[in-house]
A = this chain, B = another copy of it.
Amino acid sequence: MKAILSEKKPKAASSSSLKIRELVCELCRSFYNLGWASGTGGGISIKEDGLIYMAPSAVQKERLKPEDIFVLDAEGGIVEEPGRGLKLSQCSPLFMHAYKIRRAGAVLHSHSLNAVAATMLFDKRFKIKNMEMQKGVEGHGAFDTLEVPIIENTAYECDLADSLGEAVKNNPKSHAVLVRRHGVYVWGKDWKQAKTHAECYDYLFEAAGRMKQLGITLEA
């Protein structure tokens, strides 16, 4: 693991840091097995003690090791980098919107086909209602209508940052933003809530697809 770049954070490579790095790797493996991170896509970043731990770009997410993780400060500046040619995730500026605007403690990105299919079934907003699983998303009840904004995809992931930032600001009740034919960004106050939110949203996206196939009205 490379030496810490900033002299101001001499305790970054502590045992706490190692645990977070290992957790990022473990969660990436788990997301790969769920089909959320195939083809080097997807991933998670976690904020701890003011530092953000983030997987590198374009690598096999199910084979990450603790020493592959980037560490950023609260503004997104690189504090520690793994070297060995590894590059910071292009998701970095997108993740920062959730950290800054919504005070997230963890942000994840999934390429799940359930999410991608959901963006093909709806125009500007994914909508579902009357599903118990909605209660797993903070601020929602079983009889609400749960909505997730859908933004258009861009050729380069970094160009998504502005429209994603707008969507985050304009939808304070949502803990996720869908990207057309691309996937979903999901966050929470800590990694446990981010993961729980992601599981609930993915379940609801899958439910919408099943309902469509079974001929059940989506907005019943």
Contact = CB atoms under 8 A, between A and B. Distances in A.
Interface stretch (A14-22, A65-73, A100-108, A126-134): A126-134
A146 B181 CA distance: 14
Interface string A188-220: 000010011001101100110111111110000
Contacts of A130: 153, 181
A130 B216 CA distance: 25
Contact of A141 (B120, B133, B155, B179): B155
Interface residues of A, number: 43
A206 B210 CA distance: 11
Given A155-B142, A196-B39, A216-B120, A132 B113 contact: no
A132 B179 contact: yes
Contact of A214 (B40, B192, B207, B213): B213
**Copies per assembly:** 4
A121 interface: yes
Interface in A117-143: 117, 120-121, 130-133, 136, 141-143
B121 A200 contact: no
Contacts of A213: 213-214
Contacts of A142: 153-155, 181-182
A38 interface: yes
Contact of A182 (B132, B192, B195, B206): B132
A183 interface: yes
Interface of A: prevailing SS? helix
Nearest to A211: B120
B203 A60 contact: no
A111 interface: yes
Contacts of A132: 41, 111, 116, 153, 179, 181-183
